[in-house]
Amino acid sequence: MEIARDYYLKQLIEKKDNGRVKIVTGIRRCGKSYLVFNLFDRYLRESGIEDDRIISIALDELRNAKYRNPFELDKFVRDRITDKSKRYYVLIDEIQFVSEIQNPYVDDPEAKLTFTDVIIGLQRIGNVDVYVTGSNSKMLSSDILTQFRDRGDEIRVDPLSFSEFYAAYEGEKRNAWGDYYTYGGMPFVTVLKTHAEKSKYLLDLFRNTYIKDVIERHKILNDSSVLDDLLNIVSSSVGSLTNPTKLSNTFGSERRIAISPDTIGTYLGYFADAFLIREALRYDVKGKKYMKTPLKYYFTDVGLRNARLGFRQQEETHIMENVIFNDLKRRGFNVDVGLVECNFRDKSGKMERRQLEVDFVLNQGSVRYYVQSALTVADPEKRKQETESLIKIPDSFKKIVVVKDYMNPWRDDNGILYIGLEQFLLDDNSLNV
């Protein structure tokens, strides 16, 4: 079964021959290698690129262990660039396997050679276009931006979106959403058949890959149990406002562990750098300013989140919100959590100030949308509750409620668009219905 990754393949094609290194990153096992070495490689060949002009190497394979030395990798590639009149495409998988070595030509013990030196050197060859994949502790987004500066384009790959998952789903399509919000979109999960197999695979990724990467990179020896507990707490609070201080208090009250808010914030940053979670800042719509705290955290893959909790907390409301957040990020939006401050009269007639929440405030250039996630709006009181914040927003940008129920898109008297969840997720242009 082949799963199309057209969104990412299009990015690679658009950036082809732009003179910059294409760095494909993302959480491990999300399909980066498949994208580059199957889908993009096929595109090159179908575009008329001859075999000898595509130089590929997978550094995680034992037979290529020799090329984990920067000098040997550099030689491997350059030896195959034999004709200056032809353009070559260099595809290097798992670049983080390249070892950091002492520069033998310099006495300074701090002078090291890394994969960055190899890639930048190849990028400077006029007839070479370079693509690399990487993950784990040596290929975090923050490192890439620092090391490659203005020489590279990062293409972040996420696990399967619902539309990608749905297109490849081999069961009854009506069951696709249930399987997706339970097990998520890690590609290998789609070929596993039983709950036990899927659960074990996702838990093993956590234990043996993601947490291990964070511990190794940051040399966390004594606090590994704290990392585990923090992930459990964050998993339980998806879709809820929180902050390091609140999480620190939770450790104190529930775990009887004293851990500072600064340490909590640092660890959350490690998880974000490792592509496990994303944060959504809080934005005051009327005041037009960001609030430093509280904020929300969402998992890059809801299946990982659910497995972390033993599939015990299956609140579809929060999972649906997490899925929508991921899909909006995939579409290229800046996504914030919105708040709208308004004055209301209480039962005694006294004025009080309240904060209403908008699930997502989307920005992309000069375009803005407001999106609310709701399981249902069938009941008039529930509809009022879900739309109250949207009605109070004093601008004319589009306002949308994504509803779990299947429905034909429609607008109410306030101009708010209602659209079913599956239609919203399956159509990248659904915001413009």
Distances (CA, A) of 31 to 26, 118, 144, 288, 332: 9, 24, 19, 38, 19
Residue 37 corresponds to which amino acid? Answer: F
DSSP letter for each residue of 47-73: TT--GGGEEEEETTSGGGGGGGSHHHH
Tell me the pairing of strands 152-156 and 367-374: unpaired
- pLDDT tens string 315-331: 899 999 999 999 999 99
Contact 381, 393 (CB under 8 A): no
- pLDDT tens string 416-430: 999 999 999 999 999
Residue with tokens 């994303």: 278
CATH 3.40.50.300 fits 6-156, yes or no: yes
Element (H, E) at 334: strand 334-345
What Rg, from alpha-carbon coordinates, does the chain have?
24
- Residue 57 predicted with pLDDT over 80: yes
3-state helix, strand, coil in the chain (%, to 5): 45, 20, 30
Q: What's the start-to-end Cα distance of the chain, in Å?
A: 32
pLDDT band at 149 (very low <50, low <70, confident <90, very high): low
Backbone angles phi, psi at 57, to 5 degrees: -155, 135
Q: Rounded to whole angstroms, how far apart are CA atoms 206 and 226?
A: 15
Q: State pTM to two decimals.
A: 0.92
For the chain, the structural domain boundaries read: 6-156, 161-433
Backbone angles phi, psi at 150, to 5 degrees: -95, 20
Predicted local distance difference test score (pLDDT) of residue 255: 78
- pLDDT tens string 260-310: 999 999 999 989 888 899 999 999 999 999 998 899 999 999 999 999 999
Ranges of beta strands (E only) in 26-156 are 54-58, 88-93, 101-102, 112-113, 128-133, 152-156
Question: What is the 8-class DSSP label of residue 150?
Answer: G
- Residue 187 predicted with pLDDT over 70: yes
Q: Rounded to whole angstroms, how far apart are CA atoms 275 and 98?
A: 21
- Residue 339 predicted with pLDDT over 80: yes
Q: Rounded to whole angstroms, how far apart are CA atoms 101 and 136?
A: 19
Question: Cα dihedral angle (28, 31, 36, 39), rounded to 10 degrees?
Answer: 180
Contact 282, 337 (CB under 8 A): yes
DSSP letter for each residue of 337-375: EEEEEEEEE-TTS-EEEEEEEEEEEEEETTEEEEEEEES
What's the rounded mean pLDDT across residues 67-77? 97
Predicted local distance difference test score (pLDDT) of residue 273: 84
Q: Rounded to whole angstroms, how far apart are CA atoms 248 and 260?
A: 6
Residue with tokens 């920067």: 70
